């Protein structure tokens, strides 16, 4: 089972460049998330989606955009990359329906992004 | 808003010994879920154990167990018979069970880096 697949695993960007981090899940999960992980800061939520066509901001959305055209895919777009966006990015997915909310969140393997 | 605090940035334990990682959280909700995730050097996030707040019994998974103190808002992780493969970053996380909300998001602590000495 593939689970959550993120690409690329590593990327170096120059200041001002743009890129898209890809995320795909094959578990038919309705919820998908993008987190960033910075040293000593834990994981902070950038954007999330509760289903196809529905997205919303998390704690640190500035400088990012997302879309959710299908259940499987949840790409994260970085426009005009800045050094402050140097981080490790994680995509995750989970399933929640009605009272069933204790389910595990599955994570991709992360993308280490450096902006120089 | 809910917060999760891990006050131990680093911990060390001898192989085969027991170690306890601390986690406290703040919430006004009465029903929620708590998780411990392990992140080894590979970066993969691995679920270690989960606890449902309405259950009084502490969760256990093999060598891993929790001490859930709801009134104190404390959720510590105990690792027994520590192994070299337990060396990793450990994150405590909170999830609301608010059925009216739309987030279902995990709120993470800052993590505890566990070293296991042979």
User: Does residue B7 surpass a pLDDT of 60?
Assistant: yes
A48 → closest Cβ in B43, B95, B105: B105
Residues of B in contact with A56 (CB under 8 A): 102-103
Contact B109 A96 (CB under 8 A): no
Over residues A68-97, the pLDDT tens digits come to 999 999 999 998 999 999 999 999 999 877
CB neighbours of residue A100 within 10 Å: 8
Structure confidence at residue B100 (pLDDT): 54
C-alpha span between B87 and B116 (Å, rounded): 5
E strand or H helix at B19 = strand B19-21
**CA end-to-end span of chain B, whole Å?**
41
- At residue A101 the predicted structure's pLDDT band, cuts being 50, 70 and 90, is low
Neighbouring residues of B27: CB distance < 8 A, sequence distance ≥ 6: B2, B73, B94, B96
Q: Which residue has the higher pLDDT, B30 or A87?
A: A87
Structure confidence at residue B56 (pLDDT): 85
Chain B contact for A5 (CB, 8 A cutoff): no
Distance, C-alpha A8 to centroid of its chain: 12
Contact A102 B45 (CB under 8 A): no
Taken as a whole, chain B contains a residue count of 118
Over residues A20-48, the pLDDT tens digits come to 999 999 999 999 999 999 988 889 999 99
Dihedral-angle region of residue B85 (phi above 0 means left; psi in -120 to 50 means alpha; beta otherwise): alpha
User: Does residue A8 surpass a pLDDT of 70?
Assistant: yes
Across residues B51-67, what is the average pLDDT? 94
Structure confidence at residue A40 (pLDDT): 83
C-alpha span between A107 and A90 (Å, rounded): 7
* Location of structure tokens 């998780």: B35
User: Does residue B98 surpass a pLDDT of 80?
Assistant: no
C-alpha span between B86 and B117 (Å, rounded): 11
Structure confidence at residue B31 (pLDDT): 85
- At residue B45 the predicted structure's pLDDT band, cuts being 50, 70 and 90, is very high
Structure confidence at residue A20 (pLDDT): 97
Structure confidence at residue B51 (pLDDT): 94
A99 → closest Cβ in B91, B96, B99: B99
For A20-54, the DSSP string reads EEEEEESS--SEEEEEEEETTTEEEEEEEEEETTE
Contact B99 A33 (CB under 8 A): no
Looking at chain B, which residue has its C-alpha nearest residue A111?
B43
Structure confidence at residue A100 (pLDDT): 61
């Amino acid at each position: 089972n593939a689970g959550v697949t993120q690409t690329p695993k590593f990327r170096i960007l120059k200041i001002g460049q743009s890129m898209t981090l890809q995320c795909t899940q094959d578990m038919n999960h309705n919820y998908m998330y993008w987190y960033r992980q910075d040293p000593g800061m834990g994981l902070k939520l950038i954007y999330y989606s509760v289903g196809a066509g529905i997205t919303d901001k998390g704690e640190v959305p500035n400088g990012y955009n997302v879309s959710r055209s299908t259940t499987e895919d949840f790409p994260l777009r970085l426009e005009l990359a800045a050094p402050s966006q140097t981080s490790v990015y994680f995509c995750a997915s989970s399933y929640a329906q009605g009272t069933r909310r204790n389910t595990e969140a599955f994570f991709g393997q992360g993308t280490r992004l450096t902006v120089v | 808003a809910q917060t999760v605090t891990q006050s131990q940035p680093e911990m060390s334990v001898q192989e085969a010994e027991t170690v306890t990682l601390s986690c406290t959280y703040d919430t006004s909700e009465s029903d929620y879920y708590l998780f411990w995730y392990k992140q080894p050097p590979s970066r993969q996030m691995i679920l270690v154990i989960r606890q449902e707040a309405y259950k009084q019994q502490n969760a256990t998974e093999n060598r891993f167990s929790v001490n859930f103190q709801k009134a104190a808002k404390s959720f510590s992780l105990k690792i027994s018979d520590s192994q070299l493969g337990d060396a990793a970053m450990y994150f405590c996380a909170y999830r609301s069970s608010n059925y009216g909300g739309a987030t279902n998001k995990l709120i993470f602590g800052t993590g505890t880096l566990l070293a296991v000495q042979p």
